[in-house]
Structure 1
Amino acid sequence: MWAPWALCLAALGAALGSYSADQCSWRGSGLSQEAGSVEQLSLHCAEGSLEWLYPTGALRLSLAPRLPAAAAGRGEGPGHLTACVKPSGAFRGAQVYLERDGVLELLLAEAEAAARPRARCFSWLPREKVALFLQSTPHRDISRRIAALRYELRGDWRARLALPAGGPGGEGACRPCNDTEILMAICTSDFVVRGSIRSVSNDAELQESVIGVPFVPSSAQQVANVMALLEGRAGKTVDLGSGDGRLVIEAYKQGLRPAVGYELNPWLLRLSNYRAWKAGCNGKVSFLKQDLWKVNLSDCYNVTVFLAPSVKPPLAAKLLAELPDEARVVAGRFPFPSWTPTSTVGKGLDQVWAYDMKEVRQAAQTSAEGSPV
């Protein structure tokens, strides 16, 4: 039953082919992908990673490592290849299949990957057509989902393997990240706008490295520009990712009450409460340790957002679903890519954009009515 379906998906995937920038690792989002589509990927290194945010449709990943220069010069090729794949601890949103000569075998189930992230290994001969097939799983909520994994290959031309080549389900051994991988982790992080590595430590319980980066607060001009776009408004005001609390405190001073900040970093929450006490707002503003994706925003009329571009599309869907028509959203540093702002203030890094939800919904409805069926 799998074979015809797999072959059809493979053909469709070839038409949608794309390659990663370094041909070792790939990072992308399913937000721009059609629900029934298959994106074709091909990576050419002996090790690397894949990170698929908000999985939609499917990915077909071919692992085709290039031979080392010495082996290639002698015309040698591996007698067989072995690959080990290890999911991240937060793997969610997809299942991984091994495609061998057009037939799919389940390699990594979503529930199993989340409960116990272990390495899965498999081998194949050069004449066999093998690929990894990642199929997104349906989710009714819009919580953050990332299907992330690392892979490592070995052949007769490669003596060392960090992940042991056991059978399917075999345990894998991790290795420390090198300097390039740490730099890539910082540069591609959703919530880092600028900064440098301050510290790297190991969390033995979570079995992962923790990278410390400096907090970059909103500038005084950014705060002033946000308040200019909220001038004369009333109602509950929230800051999603409130940092040290300066926007929440200023909103309270400008008469926007209640004023609430949502932040996951416990140290920034302590700093926020200290700043509120120092400003004479202790007990008058709230700073809550809550995941912004799980917060109900249906009673909020003013929302401020200083988050990275990759967060904006899924956040836009959440705001459209929950905010009342009378609400206004103010974004700093990066605008919402699919929304037209009602007004904007400032330039460069100090620029902020205001979006009135009633206008955003009307524009979305007009666009939907004008789209061909």
Structure 2
Amino acid sequence: MQGHFVEIRGEIITLISVTVCVRDGIDWIDDCLDSLINQTYSPLEIILVDDGSIDGSREKVSRWGEHELVTAIAQTAQGLSAGRMAALNESKGEWVAITDIDVRPEPDWIENLLKATEGEEAVAVTGRTVFGTGIDIVSKIRSVEIEAKYRSRPKNTTLANGPCSMFKRDKLLEIGGFNPSWYHAEDMEVSLKLIEAGGRIIYTPDAVVNHVPEQGLMRFFNKRKRDARAHVRIVRKYKTKSDFLGSSWLVLSFIPVYFSMIFGLIWMMTDAPPVKELHLHPGLMMLVPLMIWYVLALNSNLKNAITSNKIKSTWVIAGWSLALWQGIILGYVTAIDHSTSSSASARFRRAMPAPIPTILTA
């Protein structure tokens, strides 16, 4: 091995590091790692990080560390961003790929990511995530929403998505890598930092990973709340506009639009003006076309998921909208809290030594 390259039968080939983190995901480890060790591209090194699991994942991670391609690392529960940083520090490849433990990459995932960089001045490349569908409506909505995002995605993008991306290692380290204090959306944060540093991120639809179905109503709402909270942190820090928001703004407007409709209907039934005087109330006259546009737009974005059970879908979207509003409020509360924290406590946090990950394999 020569730095970021490997010599195979006299040919110098780029080494790629693939990193993946797990916390309490014992049932997902084997399928994910099987997909990674069977990639068509070689040479690879796979860095598997356990982030303080208590369900037996650490022991399984340690066993996988016995594989010739896998380096296993264990750390206390510090979060995904800290886990990604530990893996980045351990990596040796010219390119460092990131994925998630609940993802199953296609065999040619890495090969197609690298192929997309040929002739391109790019610091990162991102592929396409396909969400599976289960028996519940949440997985169907999530699958359709993600698919719609990718249909309109440009080649030059602002986000190297966490489940399916690859970065130039030296460029990632130059911007400081993954900050362990980021509680969510670490992929968006590093992407925008790379772009601010003059880098370019490209998208290729040919590099595909398959995500297990995202099921469970409360799990879905909690993740969307974290998304919104993290988005507040990001838009306050970066001027670059994200191109991968999908239906979020449409869903966010669900609650105010429907409340406006309800109050408008109540007012019309109790204290409405005569029909001939409606032109004196332009807000009321705009209510009906607004609702028609909104329903059509929502159906257009999520049509394959909501046609089977419109009533249940409406309640899910209402809960999703509420979760986004909660996340936004939490994001601003967090921002205010951080801005008013004492400098002494900030110095104390900086003085605390960072926990050192444990290498489980030689």
Question: If the TM-score is normalised by the length of the shorter chain, which range does it land in?
Answer: under 0.3
Q: Which has the higher helix share?
A: 2
Higher relative contact order (CA 8 A, sep 6+): 2
Could you tell me the TM-score, scaled by structure 1's length? 0.25
Q: Which has the higher strand share?
A: 1
Could you tell me the TM-score, scaled by structure 2's length? 0.26
